[in-house]
Structure formats: C-alpha cells, structure tokens
Amino acid sequence: MHFEVVVPEADEEAADAAEIDPMKVAIASGKGGTGKTSVAVALALSAQGSVEFLDCDVEEPNAHFFLKPEIRLCEDISLEVPVVIQERCNYCGKCRDMCRFNAITVFGETIMTFPDMCHSCGGCFLVCPQEALEVGRRLIGTVELGTTGRGIGFVQGRLRIGEAMAPPLIRAVKARSTDSRTVIIDCPPGTSCPAMVAVRDADYCLLVTEPTPFGLHDLKIMTGVLKRLKVSHGVVLNRAGLGDDTLEHWCLDKGIPIHLKIPFSRKIAEAYAKGIPMTEVDKDLRDAFTRLILEIGK
C-alpha cells in the first residue's frame, strides 16, 4: 500500500507562522528618565496576538497610568528571615559567622537580628545546631495582576516603601508571566542588580536612550552588561534632535542597531502628562512601533 503525502503550500506558511517563538522583550536604559515606560507601553499597544506587560520597575511602577489595567489580584511577597527562639539559643555564634550580610549577630549572651539586612539565603537555619531559629517573614512588596481594556495581560510589582531589596520582588513579577506570545518587560533604570534581574533571560533588549553625554555614558555601561549576559540588544533613540550625533556615531561604530528615533516633541510630552501613550497621538509613530516589533521578532 502506498500513501502519497502532499503538504499544501498554504499549510507550510501557517506552520512557519506558528513556529515563531514567544518573544520576551526587555525595555531598559541605564540612564533614568529616557522613556523606557513610554516605549514599553507603545510596543505593547502595537504588538499583535496575545501580549503581556510586566512592570518590573518595582520602586516606582508607572506603566499603569498609561495602560490603565483593571487589577483583579494582589499578592503579598515576603522573604524568609530568622526569628530567634531565645530559650534554645546557646550563643555559639555559628549563625553570625555564616551571615555575609551581618543580619544576625551574637556577643556574650545576646543575639540580635536585623531583618532588613537579611538576603534570605537560609544559611543561618542550616548551621544552627540548636534549632533555635524559626522562620519569620519580611514583607518586601506586592505583585498585582490584571488585564487592560485591550486585553493585555498586566503584572506589576510594588516595592514596600523603605525596602531596599528589589530583585526578589522582580523575580516574583516575572514568575507570574503566563508566557504570552509577546512579553514586554519594563525594567528599572540603572545597571545594578534590579536591572540585571529584569533583563536576564529576555530574548531581546531595547535600550532607550537620548542623544546627550549622559545618555551615551550610561548606554556604554549597559551594552557592556548585556554583552556579558548574552542578551542581544538595539537602541531606541528618544528625544532625537536634542543634543548631538555623538551617540549615533558610537552605535554605528559598535554595530549596535538604532531601531527607532522618537522626535523631541511637545505633542508627545503633552500626551504623556495626561497619561496618553504616544502611539495614540501620532499615527506615524504607531506604524513605526508596529514595524519595530516585527523587526526585533526576526
């Protein structure tokens, strides 16, 4: 018996389209205030298919002002910190010697914990021979989940005021991603731990910058970091027309693509001040963002 298998061309194309992997795009910057959130929001609104937005700038999440999601779930996120059971402690000091962050100390017959110094590694629980430590909790913030009117899945972290450790909360935000076809990650500024945790494991990172000495200075640091993390990246130049062309020459020299230039425009700034995304007030920009998301999808 012979079977002739014929695959129609149309199906082949459909199969190709379905094969495009879900894409995680991180929007980062180095320098603060360059327009990460504006770009991230514009991208989310321009992407096709299921889209999810993760606001990982947990110290000051602000994408919600533009996307206006309806929050339906709010979770407390906390870290495990040691609490001493006084009558069991024999003041041996093993927990103190283990702790790299000086979050627990012992002298004479006194043991003290500093919960806000604790990085929740769990080492003290392991080394205590007396089982004199029990698990307490330090609230670091909340994760909020919802959906926008346009059906974009929305997750944001909100760091507790006074809390210094953003990374665990950022990880909690990312862990709640449902792996939609397009995941947009709005990252915190800077190039320290919170920014690293946010961009890590992204398929692509868009670096939003501006053509100023400050923009270039921080861009250089961030591109170095992304090379180390092996995250491919390109630049969105915001406030184009301001400053000079040093940054563009630098990108050209380093072979870093500049995907999009957003003009320094009063219209965009006025919309921003009202919580209106730039793609709503500028059709050319809307088209440009649609092209951008297709371009980085390749």
Interface residues with other proteins (CB under 8 A) are 31-33, 59, 83-84, 86, 96, 100-103, 105-108, 110-117, 162, 164, 189-190, 192, 194, 214, 217-218
Question: Minimum Å distance from CB 46 to other proteins?
Answer: 24
Query: Smallest gap, in angstroms, from Cβ of residue 60 to other proteins?
Result: 9
Burial profile 247-268: b = 16 or more Cβ within 10 angstroms, e = fewer: bbeebeeeebebbbbbbebeeb
- Closest to other proteins by CB, 152 or 206: 206
CB 120, min distance to other proteins, A? 13
Q: How far is the CB of 164 from other proteins (least distance, A)?
A: 6
| C-beta of 62 vs 177, nearer to other proteins | 62
Is 24 or 239 the residue whose CB approaches other proteins more closely?
239
Smallest gap from residue 20 Cβ to other proteins (A):
35
Q: How far is the CB of 23 from other proteins (least distance, A)?
A: 28
Nearer to other proteins, 105 or 130 (CB): 105
Residue 222 CB, shortest distance to other proteins, in Å, is 12
Of 102 and 246, nearer to other proteins (C-beta) is: 102
Q: Using the Cα atoms of residue 105, residue 106, residue 112 and residue 115 in order, give the sign of their dihedral.
A: positive
Q: Which is nearer to other proteins, 151 or 162 (CB)?
A: 162
Residue number, 41 or 111, with CB nearest to other proteins: 111
